[in-house]
C-alpha cells in the first residue's frame, strides 16, 4: 500500500542571483515499510525535497506539486495541520545532533515533549516513556541519564537521542537526512545499525538521504539518484549498483576511491564542478559536465526511460551510456 506519493514536486529558492530551481519535478512513491535512499552531492536538491514535504523550507522558497502522505497532500496543509503530522506520523533525524537538540533542556524533557504534545501524556507518564525510548536507542543507564543535558553526551549518543525523539510517537515514516555525516565511521556504523533495526522492528518506512554510496547500498531497498535538483536515476538498490545507467551515476561510481584499488590507480574524474543552482540549464542538469552530451540534451529535462521493470534513468543518450558501461 502506498504511504507517500510525491508528484511533480518543485522548489524554487530566491537567491541573491534570482530565483533558482532547487528541485525540478521530482516524482516518486513509497510503500508502507519500504526503505528508500536518496543519494546526491551538495546542491542536488535531496534535502530540499524532504524539507518541502515537511513544510520546513527556508524563507522565500516556494514549493509546487503534490506530496500525498496517507492520502493527504502535505503541501496544501496549513501550519497547524502539518504540526500534527510532523513528529507524530513522520519522524525526522537531521545531520547535526548538536544543533537539532536544545542545549537548555534535558534530553528526557525533549523526548517527553513530543509525547505530551502529540499524545497528551502527563509529565510522569511521558517521562517513563522517554526512559524506555532512550533505553531502546541504546543510551546506557537511561533512567539515570534522562535528566542529563545534550552537552553531556558524545556525538553518537546525541544522535541516538534525536532518534528517540523521532520514534516517540511510533511514526509510519522515518526521514533521516545525512544522519551520520557528522560522526566517525565506527559510530556511523552503530547508528546505521540502530536505524535499520528499529525500522525493521516497527515496520516503518524509511527515507535515508546521504551523499555516501556505501551508506545507501547497505541500508535501503530502493535508490534515487539526484543531480542539480532533478531525479536522474531510480531503481532497486541492487540494480542501480549493479548497472549504474545515467552518465552522472556512472561518473560518481568511477570517481569514488575504493579500498584495495591500491596506489597509482588513477581515479576517473567528472570534469568541472557541480553548477550553482541559479546556473542550472533548462535541459538535463548534467549536460555541461557529461562526456556524452549532445545539443539536444540542453533542450528539455529528459523523460524517464525504463531500463527494467524496477530501474529507470532520465537520459536521452541512455543507449550509448549503457553500451559504454
Partner 1 sequence: MSAPLLELDDVVKRYALPRESLRQAPRQVVALAGVSLAVSAGESLGLVGESGSGKSTLGRIAIALEPASSGCVRFEGQDVASLTAEHRRRLRRDVQMVFQDPYGSLDPRRTIGWIVAEPLWAQHLDRAQRQAAVAEVLASVGLRPADATKYPHEFSGGQRQRIAVARALITKPRLIIADEPVSALDVSVQAQVLNLLEDLQREFGVTFLLISHDLAVVDHVCERVAVMYRGRIVEEGSPRALFQAPAHPYTRALIAAMPRPVPGRRRERFERANGTGIASSGEGAGCPCADRCPYARERCRVEAPPLREVGAARRAACHFAEEVQTLPGPA
List all residues 6 or more positions away from 227 whose beta carbon is below 8 Å from its beta carbon. Answer: 40, 41, 44, 248, 285, 286
- Could you give the 3-state DSSP secondary structure of residue 303? coil
Binding span for partner 1 by CB under 8 A among 92-100, 110-118, 150-158, 312-320? 150-158
Torsions phi, psi for 256 (to 5 deg): -80, 125
Minimum CB separation from partner 1 for residue 314, in Å?
Answer: 18
36 binds partner 1 (CB under 8 A): no
Binding span for partner 1 by CB under 8 A among 12-20, 23-31, 216-224, 310-318? 216-224
The DSSP letter of residue 160 is: H
238 binds partner 1 (CB under 8 A): yes
Q: State the Cα–Cα distance between residues 150 and 235, nearest whole angstrom.
A: 39
At CA 195, angle to CA 246 and CA 123, rounded to 5? Answer: 135
Strand ranges of the sheet holding 2-15, from the earlier edge strand across to the other edge: 18-31, 2-15, 62-69, 72-73
Minimum CB separation from partner 1 for residue 122, in Å?
Answer: 31
**Closest CB to partner 1 among residues 74, 182:** 182
Binding span for partner 1 by CB under 8 A among 10-18, 129-137, 264-272, 309-317? 264-272
Which residue in 187, 292, 320, 322 binds partner 1 (CB under 8 A)? 187
Q: State the Cα–Cα distance between residues 182 and 95, nearest whole angstrom.
A: 7
Minimum CB separation from partner 1 for residue 192, in Å?
Answer: 8
162 binds partner 1 (CB under 8 A): no
Which residue in 197, 214, 282, 306 binds partner 1 (CB under 8 A)? 214
**Closest CB to partner 1 among residues 31, 187:** 187
Q: What is the per-residue burial (b if ≥16 Cβ within 10 Å, else e) of 94-116? A: bbbbeebbeeeebbbbbbbbbbb
Which residue in 211, 278, 281, 322 binds partner 1 (CB under 8 A)? 211
Minimum CB separation from partner 1 for residue 223, in Å?
Answer: 9
122 binds partner 1 (CB under 8 A): no
261 binds partner 1 (CB under 8 A): yes
Binding span for partner 1 by CB under 8 A among 15-23, 51-59, 235-243, 294-302? 235-243
134 binds partner 1 (CB under 8 A): no
- Could you give the 3-state DSSP secondary structure of residue 201? helix
**Residue spans of alpha helices (H) in the chain:** 46-54, 79-85, 97-100, 107-119, 123-136, 142-145, 155-167, 185-202, 213-219, 237-242, 247-255, 318-324
Which residue in 273, 296, 300, 325 binds partner 1 (CB under 8 A)? 273
Residue 305, C-alpha cell as written in the block: 526511460
Number of H-type helices and E-type strands within the chain: 12, 12
260 binds partner 1 (CB under 8 A): yes
149 binds partner 1 (CB under 8 A): no
In the complex, which residues of this chain contact partner 1 (CB under 8 A)?
A: 41-42, 138, 140, 154, 156-157, 184-190, 192-193, 211-218, 237-238, 241, 251-253, 255-270, 273-274, 289
Amino acid at each position: 500500500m502506498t504511504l507517500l506519493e510525491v508528484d511533480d514536486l518543485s522548489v524554487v529558492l530566491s537567491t541573491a542571483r534570482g530565483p533558482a530551481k532547487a528541485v525540478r519535478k521530482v516524482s516518486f512513491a513509497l510503500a508502507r515499510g519500504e526503505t528508500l535512499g536518496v543519494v546526491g552531492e551538495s546542491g542536488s536538491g535531496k534535502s530540499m525535497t524532504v524539507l518541502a514535504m515537511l513544510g520546513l523550507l527556508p524563507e522565500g522558497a516556494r514549493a509546487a506539486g503534490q506530496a500525498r502522505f496517507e492520502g493527504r497532500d502535505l503541501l496544501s496543509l496549513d501550519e497547524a495541520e502539518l504540526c500534527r503530522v510532523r513528529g507524530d506520523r513522520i519522524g525526522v533525524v537531521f545531520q547535526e545532533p548538536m544543533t537539532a537538540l536544545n542545549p537548555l533542556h534535558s534530553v528526557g524533557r525533549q523526548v517527553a515533549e513530543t509525547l505530551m504534545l502529540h499524545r497528551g501524556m502527563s509529565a510522569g507518564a511521558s517521562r517513563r516513556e522517554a526512559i524506555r525510548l532512550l533505553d531502546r536507542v541504546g543510551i546506557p543507564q537511561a533512567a539515570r541519564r534522562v535528566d542529563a543535558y545534550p552537552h553531556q553526551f558524545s556525538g553518537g549518543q546525541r544522535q541516538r537521542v534525536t532518534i528517540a525523539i523521532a520514534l516517540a510517537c511510533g511514526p509510519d515514516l522515518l526521514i533521516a537526512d545525512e544522519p551520520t555525516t557528522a560522526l566517525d565511521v565506527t559510530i556511523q556504523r552503530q547508528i546505521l545499525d540502530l536505524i535499520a533495526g528499529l525500522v525493521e522492528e516497527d515496520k516503518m518506512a524509511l527515507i535515508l538521504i546521504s551523499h555516501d554510496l556505501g551508506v545507501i547500498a547497505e541500508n535501503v531497498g530502493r535508490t534515487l539518484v539526484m543531480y542539480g535538483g532533478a531525479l536522474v536515476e531510480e531503481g532497486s538498490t541492487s540494480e542501480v549498483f549493479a548497472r549504474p545507467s545515467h552518465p552522472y551515476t556512472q561518473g560518481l561510481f568511477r570517481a569514488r576511491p575504493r579500498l584495495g584499488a591500491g596506489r597509482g590507480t588513477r581515479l576517473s574524474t567528472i570534469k568541472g564542478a557541480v553548477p550553482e543552482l541559479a546556473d542550472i540549464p533548462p535541459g538535463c542538469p548534467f549536460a555541461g559536465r557529461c562526456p556524452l552530451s549532445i545539443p539536444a540534451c540542453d533542450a528539455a529535462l529528459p523523460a524517464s526511460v525504463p531500463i527494467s521493470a524496477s530501474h529507470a534513468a532520465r537520459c536521452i543518450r541512455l543507449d550509448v551510456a549503457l553500451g559504454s558501461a
